[in-house]
Amino acid sequence: MTQNLDQEGEPLDRTELLKRSRLEEDELDALIDIGLIRPIRDSVVFPPEAGIVAMEAKRLMEQGLEVRHLRTVRLSAEREADLLEQLVAPLLKASNPEARVRAKDVLESTSDSVQAMHRALLASELRQHLKT
């Protein structure tokens, strides 16, 4: 399944994000403070994927992780995005619309590969922890 980089779903306001995720106000504020959840531009509206991030962050916090630990997840995603951005940088600098479409196609397909590698490597690391 190819990653779709077009925004899917409706943006969420703070009330809806809290309701869907079951986060407390202070938990959401902490996630925003570390940049794990970001409003759209400088608004109080969040992109649709913020709902998934908030729900999964809540699940991880219920398992004992603290908000500060979740910063690692954000940093990992940022590093992966930066790596793929380097791949398409020449296309993004081009002035023709076809290059931008090609860049989007490359990002969608390569992000699938990075996600698959990430899942496999994480599974391997976790299996090693279970053996020790």
The string of DSSP letters for the chain reads -----S--S--EEHHHHHHHH---HHHHHHHHHTTSS--STTSSEE-THHHHHHHHHHHHHHTT--HHHHHHHHHHHHHHHHHHHHHHHHHHH-SSHHHHHHHHHHHHHHHHHHHHHHHHHHHHHHHHHHH-
**And the tokens for 61?**
């916090």
Question: Residue 2: its pLDDT value, please?
Answer: 65
The per-residue pLDDT for 4 is 75
How high is the pLDDT of residue 47? 95
Residues of the chain with pLDDT under 70: 1-3, 7
pLDDT the model gives residue 6? 76
**Tokens read off for 66:** 């603290």
